[in-house]
C-alpha cells in the first residue's frame, strides 16, 4: 500500500506544479519536454544496475516503451486541445474516467476478482471523479464537433495505463522497473525534442530558463508517479482492478484538497459530495481487497 500512497502523492505534486506554471507564465510544452529528461535521470539515479544503453533495445519491453513514449506526447497534446476547446473540467473527467479501461482489462484478461463490494466501489469511484472534477454549477458542455478530443484523451489515457500493466506483468523484471520507467520518459523526451527542433526551424521557438526550471520541478514527481504505480501493481495481493481506481480517485481527492489549501480554490457542494463519495469508494475497494485475501 505504501507504493500506492507514494504514487498518489507524486501525482498530486504534479497538480501543484502545473498550477504554478500558470502563475509564473511557464511554457507548458517546453517544461514537459524538459521534465521527461529529468524523469529519465531520476530513474537512473535509483537504478542499482550499471547503465548499458546497448542492452536496452534488446529488452522484450523496449517496443512497448516506444509506444508509451508516443502516447505520452500525443495524450498531452490532445489534453491541451481539449482544454482550449471544452475546458479543464472536461480533460480532468476524460483522463480519470479512463480508469475503466485498465480495470476491465484486469478483470477479463487476468481474471481478477469481482464482487459486490468491489464493483460498488469502482462505480462510486467513477461518480466521485466526475463530481469532484466539475467546477461549474451547470456541469460540462461539449460541442459535437469537439467531442472527438476528450474521447481520444479518454482512450489514450486508458491505453497508457493498460499498456503499463501488460508490460510490467509480462516482460519487466523487478530489477528493471526503474530502467523501464526511465526509458519511457527518455523516448517521450526525444520525441518532444524533435517538436522543439521543428519549431526552431519554423522560427517559432522561444526558449527560457524558467521553462527548464519548471521541467526540473515536474520531472521528479512525474517519474515517481509512474515508478511507484508500477511497484504498486507488482505488490502481492494487489490487483490492478483495485489499484487503478484507488489511485485515480485518491489523486483527484488529494489534488482538490491541495487546491483549497494552497490556491484558495472554491468548492461547489457537489465537489464536497464527490470527496465524500471518493472516501467511501476507497474504503469499499480496499475492504474488497482484504476480503479476498
Here the cell at position 179 is 530502467
- How far is the C-alpha of 130 from the C-alpha of 78, rounded, in Å? 20
What is the pTM assigned to this prediction? 0.90
- How far is the C-alpha of 246 from the C-alpha of 229, rounded, in Å? 11
Is the predicted pLDDT of residue 284 greater than 80, yes or no? yes
For residue 140, what pLDDT is reported? 65
Is the predicted pLDDT of residue 264 greater than 60, yes or no? yes
Residue 226 belongs to domain spanning: 2-292
For residue 166, what pLDDT is reported? 95
Question: For residue range 21-54, what is the model confidence (pLDDT) as tens digits?
Answer: 888 989 888 999 999 999 999 999 998 888 888 8
Which is higher by pLDDT, 293 or 122?
122
Question: For residue range 185-232, what is the model confidence (pLDDT) as tens digits?
Answer: 999 999 999 989 998 998 888 889 999 999 999 999 999 999 999 999
> What is the DSSP secondary-structure string of 81-110?
HHHHHH-HHHHHHHHHHTTHHHHHHHHHHS
Question: For residue range 65-96, what is the model confidence (pLDDT) as tens digits?
Answer: 999 999 999 998 888 788 777 776 778 888 88
The pLDDT > 70 percentage for the chain reads 97
- How far is the C-alpha of 112 from the C-alpha of 114, rounded, in Å? 7
Instruction: Kindly give the interhelix angle for 116-133 and 269-292, rounded to the nearest 10 degrees.
Output: 160
Question: For residue range 202-211, what is the model confidence (pLDDT) as tens digits?
Answer: 888 888 999 9
SS3 of the chain: helix, strand, coil, percent, to 5 = 80, 0, 20
Please state the domain count of the chain: 1
Here the cell at position 182 is 526511465
Please state the separation of Cα 187 from the chain's center in Å.
17
Amino acid at each position: 500500500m505504501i507504493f500506492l500512497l507514494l504514487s498518489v502523492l507524486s501525482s498530486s505534486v504534479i497538480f501543484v506544479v502545473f498550477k504554478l506554471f500558470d502563475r509564473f507564465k511557464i511554457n507548458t510544452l517546453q517544461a514537459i519536454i524538459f521534465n521527461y529528461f529529468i524523469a529519465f535521470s531520476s530513474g537512473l539515479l535509483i537504478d542499482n544496475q550499471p547503465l548499458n544503453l546497448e542492452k536496452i533495445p534488446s529488452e522484450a519491453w523496449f517496443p512497448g516503451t516506444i509506444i508509451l513514449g508516443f502516447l505520452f506526447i500525443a495524450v498531452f497534446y490532445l489534453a491541451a486541445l481539449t482544454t482550449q476547446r471544452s475546458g479543464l473540467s472536461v480533460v480532468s473527467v476524460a483522463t480519470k474516467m479512463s480508469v475503466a479501461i485498465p480495470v476491465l482489462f484486469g478483470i477479463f484478461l487476468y481474471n481478477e476478482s469481482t464482487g459486490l463490494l468491489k464493483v460498488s466501489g469502482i462505480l462510486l469511484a467513477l461518480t466521485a471523479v466526475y463530481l469532484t472534477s466539475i467546477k461549474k454549477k451547470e456541469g460540462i458542455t461539449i460541442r459535437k464537433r469537439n467531442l472527438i478530443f476528450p474521447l481520444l484523451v479518454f482512450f489514450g489515457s486508458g491505453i497508457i495505463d493498460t499498456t503499463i500493466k501488460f508490460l510490467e506483468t509480462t516482460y519487466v523484471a523487478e530489477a528493471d522497473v526503474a530502467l523501464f520507467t526511465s526509458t519511457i520518459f527518455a523516448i517521450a523526451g526525444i520525441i518532444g525534442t524533435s517538436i522543439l527542433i521543428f519549431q526552431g526551424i519554423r522560427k517559432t521557438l522561444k526558449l527560457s530558463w524558467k521553462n527548464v526550471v519548471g521541467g526540473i520541478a515536474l520531472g521528479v514527481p512525474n517519474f515517481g508517479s509512474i515508478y511507484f504505480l508500477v511497484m504498486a501493481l507488482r505488490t502481492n495481493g494487489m490487483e490492478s482492478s483495485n489499484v487503478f481506481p484507488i489511485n485515480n480517485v485518491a489523486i483527484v481527492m488529494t489534488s482538490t484538497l491541495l487546491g483549497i489549501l494552497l490556491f484558495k480554490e472554491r468548492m461547489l457542494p457537489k465537489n464536497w459530495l464527490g470527496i465524500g463519495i471518493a472516501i467511501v469508494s476507497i474504503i469499499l475497494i480496499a475492504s474488497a481487497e482484504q476480503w479476498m485475501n
